[in-house]
Amino acid sequence: MHPTRRTVHTFFAVTALAATLLGASLAHADQLDDIKKKGTLVVGVLGTDEPNSFIDPKTREIIGYEVDLARSIATKLGVKLEIKQLAVAARIPELQQGHVDLLAASLTHNKEREAVIDFSLTTFVTGQKVLVRSDSGIQDLKALSGKKVITIKGGTQEPNIRKAVPNVDVVTFDTGPQAFQALQQGKGVAFVNDEVSLIDQYAKLGGAQSQYKILAQNISIEPLALGIKKGEPQFKAQVDEVLRGLEKSGDADKLFLKWYGPATPLKFPSRSFKIDSDKVES
């Protein structure tokens, strides 16, 4: 090749490579920049999972532990918080399609989901358990074999109970309250959900509490985290920075006590986790 032509060819090759790298860099910055430009952080929540996110009966606004975490992130970014209520099964698709910027929706961090979205630091750790009617005669997980068990569509509850009790007959509903109502109506012998949600629903039974009990065995340990779109390292770093700041300042403990502590229906005495690492469902 003629030296001049080779020089021109090299120049264009280097220019093309530089443009590609610049484009990749800008692509990574897109979401964080876009959130700041539009002035709004759109966060997907369940709105049916007290105390993580639920509708305040007085104000009709969605409030909760995860809503407060999202508000802290929006404040740090200097933008408004916009809450969007989602069904359990719609959480990840809504994030992938860009309809929400972040998920604060009782989302378990597991290996399967890591293939399609990213996660923040762990924001809560719970376990999944089983609520049964006291007169069912069911004392342990083994007794659920061949029985009809109720849970929530699109969550980790169904695969976890099928793994724990291979012959179980699972019926799913869109939300936790719908599933719990189905148990009360006798549409199944047991209801599988996160322990925190079960305790909350049990506490609201009042005088009917004696009719139900939560089995002692966990079917899984669930580390919850905020969901982030794949390939947005700058946004993830910002989210994690806010969460670390809450832990360091003591505000994370205050939020826990506000929504889960001794003065709440859940009456948890203290936290068993810290917001300082990435945990994955075991």
- d(Cα 208, Cα 161) in Å, to the nearest integer? 26
- State the DSSP code for 76: H
Beta bridge pairs of residue 62: 55
Judged against a pLDDT cut of 60, whether residue 2 lies above it is answered with no
Residue-wise pLDDT tens digits, 70-92: 999 999 999 999 999 999 999 99
- Rounded to 5°, angle at Cα 105 from 232 and 108: 80
Answer whether 251's CB lies under 8 Å from 242's CB: no
**What is the per-residue pLDDT for 59?**
97
Judged against a pLDDT cut of 70, whether residue 15 lies above it is answered with no
**What is the per-residue pLDDT for 279?**
82
Joined tokens for residue 195: 């322990």
The better pLDDT of the pair 139, 27 is held by 139
What percentage of the chain exceeds 90 in pLDDT? 77
- d(Cα 209, Cα 155) in Å, to the nearest integer? 26
150 burial via Cβ count (<10 Å: 0-12, 13-18, 19+): buried
Residue-wise pLDDT tens digits, 190-229: 999 999 999 888 888 888 999 999 999 999 999 999 999 9
**What is the per-residue pLDDT for 201?**
86
- d(Cα 13, Cα 210) in Å, to the nearest integer? 75
Closest Cα partner for 197 from 169, 140, 157?
A: 157
Q: Read off φ and ψ for residue 70, nearest 5 degrees.
A: -65, -40
Residue-wise pLDDT tens digits, 132-156: 999 889 999 999 999 999 999 999 9
**What is the per-residue pLDDT for 200?**
87
Answer whether 275's CB lies under 8 Å from 268's CB: no
Residue-wise pLDDT tens digits, 219-265: 999 999 999 999 999 999 999 999 999 999 999 999 999 999 999 98
Return the half-sphere exposure (C-beta side, CA atoms, 13 A cut-off) of residue 78: 5
